[in-house]
Structure 1
Amino acid sequence: MKFAPMNYHYLRYPLTKFLDKVERSPFDSIDLYCSAPQLNLFDHPLSHLLELDGELRRRHLTVAAMTPENCVYPVNFCTQDRITRESSLRYYQRAIDTAEFLGCPRVQISTGFGYFDAPREEAWNNCRESMAQLAAYAERKHVTLLLEELKNTTTNVLITSRDIARMLDEIDSPAIVGMVDMDQMTYAGETVADYFANLGSRMQYVHFNDRGHTVPGDGDFPMKDYYEQIKAQGYDGCYSFEICDRRYYIDPDKAIDDTVAWMRANTHELD
């Protein structure tokens, strides 16, 4: 299995601080969270991209996945507002292009939302149409899209693993698969078994974080249980540590140290 720290909690520092820390860690791969000022997908010059590629190569790090900022202003490809929807598609097109350049095989993508006072099917149809376009583009670029659901306080489109499965069925593209996030899963009242039952072989990525997107062991989720359940399903793919809570912003290195400590205490993955 591959384990990849994400740089979300390093946003108050240059990206090189994160890369330096990962280079010193047991990990050799990252999940690249794309947000300004580190990597602004709305507008990054070619020189910046070449520099980033050089920094990764110098440290012998690969990019397991890219995670563009999803479902926050002004990104939303499910909305009834066509201008916002089309600009969001251009944003994800740029993400796919960037992933291809960096040799990154995956781009994580979260559902947008429709107006909460409008029929859900309007947003669902917009989501399907947008995702189908992106999947067709990603297939030509040899990039796989990882589709994630969100909480019902954020979206009215994809909320459960069943929703992901239905959307994948309707799009029917090899370039788009499903994933699980421990926080979203538990909030929706689902289980690891639900994701594998509903998605089958299309379950191809894991955000392995404790409650509130915290370091494993810092919340109250049964993280060792979750790890063992995922492994029991025969999953041997990639895990990403999506650590978003602001408690880690001041000393982000410690969050990676604590993640490593948890893994060594609870798994044999880093032996």
Structure 2
Amino acid sequence: MNFVAMNFHYVRYPLSYFLDKVEKSGLDSVELWAAAPHLNIYDATLDQVSFLKKDIQKRNLKLECVTPEQCVYPVNIASEDEVLRNSSINYFKKTIEIANFLEAPRVIVCEGSGYFNKPREEAWKQSAESLGVLSEFAKEKGIKLLLEPLMVTTSNVINSSKELRKMVDEINSPNLFAMLDTSQMSNYPETPDDYFKNLGDKLQYIHFVDRGHLVPGDGDLPMEEYYKKIKASGYDGCISFEICDRRYYCDPNKAQDDIEKWIETVTK
């Protein structure tokens, strides 16, 4: 498996500070959380993206995935507001173009949400139509789209591995795949076994984090057991660490060190 560092918890530091840390670490792959102040998709210019590409390459790092901020920004591909929905589709299209330029093979996309006082089917329909458009665009650019389910408090479209499989099958695109986020998963609740059972080879990426998107071992989830289940499944792809809790913002390097210590413990 390929362990991947992610920059979310470096939000109070320049992106170069994160890249410097990874360069000196035991990891050689990164996932880019694309948002200000690191890379604002809305305002990103060719010069900025070109500089970032050189910044990654000069450190001999591999960019595995681009994950644009989409849970707190005005981004919602399932919105009934046509203007917002189309703006969101264009936001992801620009992300896909940026990923292509950066030579990243993957982009993460969330399904969006409808109003909770309206039929879920309406939001599902809007999301499916948007994902169909984005999957076709990703195919043209040679990018894999990774669809991530969300918590029931965040979305009323996809919350479980079965719903995730249903959407992937409905879109039926060679460029749309599924991903597992262990923190999101635990709120349903499910286990990695459920995801592998329901998604099979459509499961192409993993965010491996403790409950609340903490460093493995800092929460109450059985992370070592989860890792063993993932390994036993035969999964041999990327395992990325999307660390989001504010407790890590002041000293993200310590969190990164703790992640590496955890990896050493479970892989020795």
Q: Give me the TM-score of the superposition, normalised by structure 2.
A: 0.99
Give CA-to-partner distance per residue, 1:172-210, whole Å, 9 cap, x none.
Answer: 001010111111111101111110111011011110001
Alignment of 1:90-105 (within 5 A): 90-105=90-105
**1:41 match: secondary structure:** coil
Alignment of 1:16-35 (within 5 A): 16-35=16-35
Q: Percent identity?
A: 51
In 2, distance between residues paired with 1:168 and 1:199? 9
Aligned residue type for 1:225: E
1:211 Cα deviation (Å)?
1.0
1:28 Cα deviation (Å)?
0.6
In 1, distance between residues paired with 2:247 and 2:55? 27
Alignment of 1:151-190 (within 5 A): 151-190=151-190
Match of 2:72 in 1: 72
Match of 1:115 in 2: 115
Match of 2:139 in 1: 139
Match of 2:247 in 1: 247
In 2, distance between residues paired with 1:225 and 1:136? 37
1:114 Cα deviation (Å)?
0.4
1:265 Cα deviation (Å)?
1.3
In 1, distance between residues paired with 2:209 and 2:40? 25
Match of 1:85 in 2: 85
Moved over 2 A (4+): none
1:2 Cα deviation (Å)?
1.0
In 2, distance between residues paired with 1:220 and 1:267? 20
Match of 2:48 in 1: 48
Aligned residues, how many? 268
Alignment of 1:217-256 (within 5 A): 217-256=217-256
In 2, distance between residues paired with 1:266 and 1:58? 30
**1:198 match: secondary structure:** helix
Aligned residue type for 1:113: S
In 1, distance between residues paired with 2:184 and 2:54? 35
1:73 Cα deviation (Å)?
3.3
In 1, distance between residues paired with 2:73 and 2:114? 13
1:111 Cα deviation (Å)?
1.6
1:3 Cα deviation (Å)?
1.0
Q: Give me the TM-score of the superposition, normalised by structure 1.
A: 0.98
The answer to which of 99-108 and 43-52 deviates more is 43-52
Equivalent pair of 1:71/1:111 in contact (CA under 8 Å)? no
Q: Which runs of 5+ in 2 are unaligned?
A: none
